[in-house]
Amino acid sequence: MADLSTTWERELLEQFSYLTAATDEELHLNTADITSESSDNTTGLLHLSDEVLLVILRNLDPVSLLRLGGTCSLLFRVCSCNSLWTTHFQDSFGASLSYTHARCPVTAKTAFRLVFMWRSLFRNIHCNHAFQEKLFVEIPLAPHKYWIQWLMLEESVPLPSVRLPCSDVEKLWGITADLFQDKLQEETEDCDTLKFEWRELYHLALKHHGSVSLVFQHVLSQHQNSEHTELESMYHQYVQCRFQWLFTYWLFRQPAPYNKQLRSIFLQWKKHSKRKVATWGETLCDVRYLASLHPITKDYWRGQLARGDESLGIQTVGNYFCMCKSLVAWILGRDWGRLKRRKVYEDTLEGVYLLLRREMQETLIEHERFWQVAKVQMTRVCTLEETAANYVNWKMIETLPYYKLYLVSGNSVYLDHVQGFLRRKRLIRDWIYLEENSWARQLLPESLYVYVCVCICVCMYVCMCVCVYILYVCVYI
């Protein structure tokens, strides 16, 4: 390990020497410009010491390393070193690339790029119909040899057993004929073709080559002269559509019992178009519309959950709806009316989303976390319902900014503001119903009483805020 680390640093330091020379030359050519500026402006990443730059590069993830290499031609060469990408290859795929004795046929950066594209596609094959067609179109025959060479890297392949000529097995997997002599003796019809399970072929290759790392190097050597246009095209399509594909698969391809439950929970107490929902799971179904019904699914559709990780994001979505299922069961167990049940459910989910929105954008949220927050939000919603005293007031105060602030924070100050609003509304209503103010009731239709009360309360609130601001200015400014 020490030797590997020494080699790692030696290669980078060699590149740093070229980098330093190029930087010095650039500074010499631009001396006039540099002297006209302050010394602070001449200090940048290229002026750091080799030791500091070494530490920075060592701690960069693959995406950051690519971005750094794309900033200028000087850093591009440094960020393309085999030493850097060999480490990332080992960490990401569990295989090492050797550039000493058995030299890998491609650079570590190219190897990482190709295997990363393949693994991304293969990991999500269940929701990628275009990729499925590439692998399944030849069934019961084997896929195209290009894709067979990539399938060699996978132990578990979702394809039926395949019949292959012995020469293809020896060439593609690098397996010698003596490893499948038993199969040749069992075969009676055609000795030139043998039937293999994909897992069996993987273990034969592993046995022959000796390690996973050597299997990877064999596959990369097979692809040394291949055109990867099709792989790149499919990966580009996957990057563009991965959130939509995975959400569609999650929504419509659940096991039979859970599929009906998910649809019920997804639409529970949610205003929706019956016409669009009628095509649920069909080819013409408007999946984008379904995703827009919930803030969390809308965020996932846009790739805004778990830092754009589609797998962690869809797990968060699944955990969210598991929480919704628990919440529905809890609410239905209470002796509440239909309107109260729906309002508690809607406001609780809104509070959960507001409280966890930033956290969901950064990382995976488990079911326990969702349920813990939901229980707190239910308590606050019920407190607001008790404060409102009736459903009409409840619907009225939900438009106040303090309503949501109390949901998110639980601060009693915001609850006091809501109570103050209701007191002012009650005073105005009582004033309108005084006998000497019958003229007001005659001028206004009965349906506008509540609206007028709300408007007056809002005006009173705005005036109060203005007075407080003026007092603050006079005292402190």
What is the phi/psi pair of residue 152, to 5°?
-60, -25
Q: How confident is the model at residue 2 (pLDDT cuts 50, 70, 90)?
A: very low
Whether omega for the bond prior to residue 140 falls within 30 degrees of 0, making it cis, is yes
Q: 235 versus 186: which is more confidently predicted? A: 235
Rounded to the nearest integer, the mean pLDDT of the chain is 82
pLDDT in tens, 324-361: 999 999 999 999 999 999 999 999 999 999 999 999 99
pLDDT beyond 70 at 101: no
Q: What is the pLDDT of residues 365-402, one digit of tens each?
A: 999 999 999 999 999 999 999 999 999 899 989 988 99
Token pair of 430 as six digits: 């009582």
Q: What is the pLDDT of residues 110-158, one digit of tens each?
A: 999 999 999 999 999 999 998 998 888 777 777 888 998 999 999 998 8
> Which helix (H) or strand (E) is 354 found in, with range?
helix 338-362
Sign of the torsion angle spanned by Cα atoms 384, 387, 390, 396: negative
pLDDT band at 4 (very low <50, low <70, confident <90, very high): very low
Is the full-model pTM beyond 0.85? no
pLDDT of residue 171: 83
Q: Do the Cβ atoms of 134 and 121 come closer than 8 Å? A: no
From residue 4, alpha-carbon distances to 11, 55, 87, 90, 99 in Å are 11, 16, 10, 13, 11
Mean pLDDT of 36-43: 50
Q: Which of 181-190, 228-237, 309-318, 421-430 has the lowest mean pLDDT?
A: 181-190
